[in-house]
Amino acid sequence: MASSDIKDFFRQKKRGVSKKPSSSSRKNSGKSSIGTICLPEPTDTPALIAHGKFDLQDFKGDGDEKLRQFDMEMRYGPCVGLSRLERWERACSMGLNSPPEIGNLLRSLSGSNPKLECLWEGRV
Amino acid sequence: MDGATIEDGEMKLFERKQAIYKSLDEKYLVHGQRYKGQQYSQIYFARLHHLRNLLHSLVTKWKPHLEVITVLGLEESRECVIVGTIYKHMKLKPCILDEYSKERTAVPLVKPHNFLHPDDQLILEDEIGRVKLRGSLLNPTDFVTGIGLALHGMKTIEGDFLVQDLLEAGFPPQTKLPRLGEDKYVVFVSGLNVGSNIFNPLQFQLFVDHVTGHLGGDNEQKMTSQIVRVVIAGNSVIIPHSVLNGQALTPEDQRKLTEPIKEVDILLTQLAAAVPLDIMPGPTDPANSFLPQQPLHRCLFPGASSYNTFFSCTNPHQFELDGFQFLGTSGQNIDDLDKYSSAQTKLEFVERTLRWRHLAPTAPNTLGCYPFTEKDPFFIENCPNVYFVGNQDKYETVLLHGPEEQQVRLVCIPRFSESGVAVMLNLRDLNCHALNFSADLDS
């Protein structure tokens, strides 16, 4: 989970200027006033950052693109709830002509690589 | 194991006949599965894939001049064939959201037994899209959600699909029926409901004594020595609901919970000592509630499970006996069909599941089911010789003949606690008759 990031979000020490107690100053963080703690924008959903899937930065090569196309291909069935490799193996056993290069790509990845899970893993 | 009688000083011993049994329950076991948070879309995909492959091969013979297209490829006024899963939109289907809605117009306060409504509509769905079905050929009361069909028709101006003809998967293929030279009987019983107030221990004891050969003269004992197996199709035990009210259990309540199963164990020990026995879980038994129900645990039957003739099976249950294929359930699939469609008799529902090649098409829509990812275990690959359904209202049976010389005996087994009827099936000619047990001392 995002426990390691909490310390980055919430400043652990109060700034010397403000005399308000820490709880109310956190509440006022949305409004811009001097000496309050900055929280991340509401649009940055914690889930994206917690799982380390920085989409824009990770977009190197078309290996990723191919995997995403594989996820989206409805011929191989729904992608949510299965790891990509399991879905590829299922497509193979059902005789759906899944491209072998995706299987090779998935098998070459290490165990904790986020590319092994489908696009929506952890987000739905 | 033997029925003995002394007659004129001579000991007549009848040897019980044996039959080779092979359990085919492997595909209904869930223990190899790992729940990863998947949803039911996976099992629908597996079902659609299977049925579509099947129907594609049948459509080429059915309408060779028409092409099969996907739902999104439909064009107006062009005859074609589409293949997909049926979804039935039902107005009265109980929905959790009804409890939260302010208006309560269509939903009556008292839940009806059957949720049919004249406004029900059928929709065909494949992986990518769905289309509403119109036409007088399809009567929504005969269909339920989850069936795979091929439909011939064309798209109308409103965007619906006008159905001109339909194709079901049809009877599965059957391996050739073996020939038995002698009479061998299988006894089916279900709905013992031990623990309810309608259970009559004397009646079931009569059944046990009869099957084990402790009753009757030579003729009866000869007949019972030909019984090769007893199958108990669900609902052996009923937990009194007064105990399950969320309060902590007093020792007396705990005794109320365990007494029925202990009683069943005592009775089953007598049976297992004499004849091979299969027990299936039912809706009221202490097993998981969704299909496929896993076998009842051996620790529930400390006495009976010590015999190697005692087999605890899944629901649905599939096995082979001397080459004859048996398939059966404890009734949940047919009861659910009864709620969402209509037919003249329960046997008609059973026949429909065979024609649709699917044991429980309403799973997982209205019937609880495990979210399998790679397969749909309720798909009927091969036509059974005997297809039995337990816990029904009355005893009904018919011998069906399929288009490719398949022969299936359909049996609806009544609840023993209500009717006192068990069913005896002769493997030699697939004939069935009822065994009536009455322990009424007044009549």
**What is the torsion angle, in degrees rounded to the nearest 10, for the CA atoms of residue A39, residue A45, residue A50 and residue A52?**
-110
Query: What is the predicted pLDDT for the residue at B102?
Result: 62
Q: Cα B262 vs. chain centroid, distance in angstroms?
A: 26
Nearest-CA distance from A119 to chain B in Å? 14
- Where do you find CATH 2.40.50.430 in chain B? 41-96+112-167
- Residues of chain B scoring pLDDT < 50: 1-9
Query: What are the extents of the domains in chain A?
Result: 62-116
Q: For residue B39, which residues of chain A lie inside 8 Å, CB to CB?
A: 78, 80-81
Out of 3.40.640.10, 3.30.70.890, 3.20.20.70, 3.60.21.50, the CATH code matching B2-34+174-436 is: 3.60.21.50
Answer yes or no: pTM beyond 0.90.
Answer: no
Give me the sign of the Cα torsion angle B113, B145, B86, B294.
Answer: negative
Q: For residue B46, which residues of chain A lie inside 8 Å, CB to CB?
A: 77, 94
Contact A81 B38 (CB under 8 A): yes
Q: What is the ipTM of this complex?
A: 0.76
Query: What is the predicted pLDDT for the residue at B415?
Result: 95
The residue of chain A nearest to residue B371, with distances taken between CA atoms, is: A81
DSSP one-letter code for B394: S
**pLDDT at residue A43 above 70?**
no
Contact A81 B46 (CB under 8 A): no
Contact A75 B127 (CB under 8 A): yes
Q: For residue B371, which residues of chain A lie inside 8 Å, CB to CB?
A: 81
- Is A90's Cβ below 8 Å from some Cβ in B? yes
- Is A47's Cβ below 8 Å from some Cβ in B? no
Identify the band that residue A5 occupies on the pLDDT scale cut at 50, 70 and 90: low
Q: What's the CA gap between A83 and A68, in Å, rounded?
A: 13
Among B374, B376, B379, the residue to mutate for chain A (most A Cβ within 10 A): B374
- Is A124's Cβ below 8 Å from some Cβ in B? no
- Where do you find CATH 3.60.21.50 in chain B? 2-34+174-436
Q: For residue A81, which residues of chain B lie inside 8 Å, CB to CB?
A: 36-39, 41-42, 371, 373
Average of per-residue pLDDT values in chain A: 68
Contact B127 A86 (CB under 8 A): no
Contact B127 A93 (CB under 8 A): no
Q: What's the CA gap between B150 and B55, in Å, rounded?
A: 7
DSSP labels for B227-248?
Answer: EEEEEEES--B---GGG-SSSP
Identify the band that residue A31 occupies on the pLDDT scale cut at 50, 70 and 90: very low
Q: What's the CA gap between B435 and B381, in Å, rounded?
A: 32
More confident call, A12 vs B76: B76
Q: Cα B43 vs. chain centroid, distance in angstroms?
A: 19
Q: For residue B374, which residues of chain A lie inside 8 Å, CB to CB?
A: 90, 93
Nearest-CA distance from A98 to chain B in Å? 15
- Is B117's Cβ below 8 Å from some Cβ in A? no
Q: What's the CA gap between A98 and B275, in Å, rounded?
A: 51
User: Looking at the domain B41-96+112-167, which fold is it?
Assistant: OB fold (Dihydrolipoamide Acetyltransferase, E2P) (2.40.50)
Residue B56's SS3 state is helix
Query: In angstroms, what is the C-alpha Rg of chain A?
Result: 21
Contact A82 B45 (CB under 8 A): no
pLDDT digits (tens, 9 = 90+) for A61-78: 667 888 888 888 888 888
Query: What is the predicted pLDDT for the residue at A97?
Result: 84
Query: What is the predicted pLDDT for the residue at A108?
Result: 83
